[in-house]
């Protein structure tokens, strides 16, 4: 995970809220309206139900507004954080039923793509499924698992998190549907993941395959891993994921399914 961001979270006022500008509210409204159109035939039914439950308005939501709805359905809340946080802190929050969320939204210059997880990615991309009890409980258990291991093993577990929670697909009535927050908060990835025949789609039967598959954060994903339904996330916890993560480090990565690029300030290969 990257440890720096060009964006800075807004401070909370005396009432615990963020004072977003008219421009920021307009950006939120544009992004939500656009994604609502794109997801209808591409997101899983649980995600669409979650979007309906969260009842997004035309203005950037305050943390308490989202948290109140999540608590009602699954006991979760979102936690204000200063942009990107260390992986340890991230998984510690998940273990305590809190989803980290920075208090900033992308500028219009970054409207279609942003590496940093802004409030649109976190709230629109992830919070709809946090209204689903099975998904939310899996997130907590995965957070507990990943928070108790060493740094290298934790980052390997984050790779599995990437291929599921961030960029996972489901089979719904024989059709591919997205549940990953990284897909469903991205205009291009939402369409590409479902409509394109270019990316490889692999059934997620053996988590070792995902653990050994490298990825880049700055491109459309060349490979997606597929589950049959949201509840299949729990089958991953039937494996000894810590042991598999350690073994995957010893075995090394599969050849990347993308053109390698040197790491720099704008690119990360994991």
Is residue 200 over pLDDT 80?
yes
Asked if residues 78 and 95 have their Cβ atoms less than 8 Å apart, the reply is no
CA distance 34 to 29: 8
Catalytically annotated residue among 46, 122, 166, 189: 166
The average confidence (pLDDT) of the chain is 94
Q: Catalytic pick from 63, 121, 178, 248? A: 121
Instruction: Note the pLDDT of residue 5.
Output: 64
For 142-181, what is each residue's pLDDT tens digit? 999 999 999 999 999 999 999 999 999 999 999 999 999 9
Q: In the prediction, which pLDDT does 263 show?
A: 56
Spans of all domains in the chain: 22-251
Name the active-site residue from 185, 186, 189, 248.
Answer: 185
**What pLDDT band is residue 2 in, cutting at 50, 70 and 90?**
very low
Let me know if 121 is a catalytic residue.
Answer: yes
Please indicate whether residue 268 or residue 31 has the higher confidence score (pLDDT): 31
130, 46 contact by CB (below 8 A):
no
Cβ partners under 8 Å of residue 17, min gap 6? 62, 63, 64
CATH number belonging to the domain at 22-251, selected among 1.10.3080.10, 3.30.1360.70, 1.10.800.10, 3.40.50.720: 1.10.800.10
Angstrom distance (rounded) from CA 55 to CA 35 = 14
Q: What is the mean pLDDT of residues 227-233?
A: 97
Answer yes or no: is pLDDT of 267 > 50. Answer: no
- Say whether 185 is catalytic: yes
Q: Does residue 270 carry a pLDDT above 60?
A: no
How far from 248 is each of 100, 103, 139, 153, CA to CA, in Å?
28, 35, 22, 9
Q: What band does 266 get if pLDDT is binned at 50, 70 and 90? A: very low
Please state, for a pLDDT cut of 90, what percent of the chain lies above it.
Answer: 90
Encoding tokens for residue 57?
Answer: 């308005």
pLDDT of residue 16: 87
Looking at residue 83, its pLDDT comes to 76
The pLDDT value given to residue 259: 86
Q: Dump pLDDT digits (tens) for 104-118.
A: 999 999 999 988 899
- Catalytic residue (choose from 24, 126, 147, 186): 126
Rounded to two decimals, what is the model's pTM? 0.93
* Alpha carbon distance 221, 51 (integer Å): 24
pLDDT above 50 (res 233): yes
| Catalytic annotation present for 63 | no
Q: Is the pLDDT of residue 85 over 50?
A: yes
What confidence category does residue 82 fall into, taking pLDDT thresholds of 50, 70 and 90? confident
Which of 247, 233, 2, 241 shows the shortest CA–CA distance to 140? Answer: 233
Return d(Cα 17, Cα 178) in angstroms, integer: 32
């Amino acid at each position: 995970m990257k440890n720096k961001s060009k964006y800075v979270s807004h401070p909370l006022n005396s009432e615990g809220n963020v004072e977003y500008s008219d421009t920021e509210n307009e950006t939120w409204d544009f992004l939500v309206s656009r994604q609502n159109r794109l997801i209808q035939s591409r997101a899983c039914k649980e995600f669409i139900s979650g979007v309906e439950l969260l009842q997004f308005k035309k203005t950037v939501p305050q943390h308490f507004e989202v948290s109140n709805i999540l608590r009602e359905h699954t006991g979760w809340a979102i936690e204000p954080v200063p942009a990107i946080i260390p992986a340890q802190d991230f998984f510690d929050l998940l273990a305590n039923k809190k989803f980290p969320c920075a208090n900033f939204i992308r500028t219009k210059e970054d409207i279609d793509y942003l590496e940093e997880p802004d409030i649109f990615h976190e709230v629109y991309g992830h919070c709809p499924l946090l209204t689903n009890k099975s998904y939310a409980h899996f997130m907590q258990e995965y957070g507990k698992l990943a928070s108790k291991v060493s740094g290298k093993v934790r980052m390997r577990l984050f790779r599995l998190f990437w291929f599921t929670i961030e960029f996972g697909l489901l089979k719904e009535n024989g059709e591919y549907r997205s549940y990953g927050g990284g897909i469903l908060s991205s205009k291009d990835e939402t369409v590409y993941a479902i409509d394109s025949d270019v990316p490889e789609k692999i059934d997620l039967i053996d988590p070792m395959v995902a653990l050994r598959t490298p990825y880049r954060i700055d491109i459309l994903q060349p490979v997606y891993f597929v589950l049959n339904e949201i509840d299949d996330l729990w089958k991953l916890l039937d494996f000894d994921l810590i042991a598999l993560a350690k073994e995957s480090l010893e075995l090394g990565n599969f050849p990347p399914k993308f053109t390698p690029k040197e790491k720099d300030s704008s690119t990360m290969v994991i």
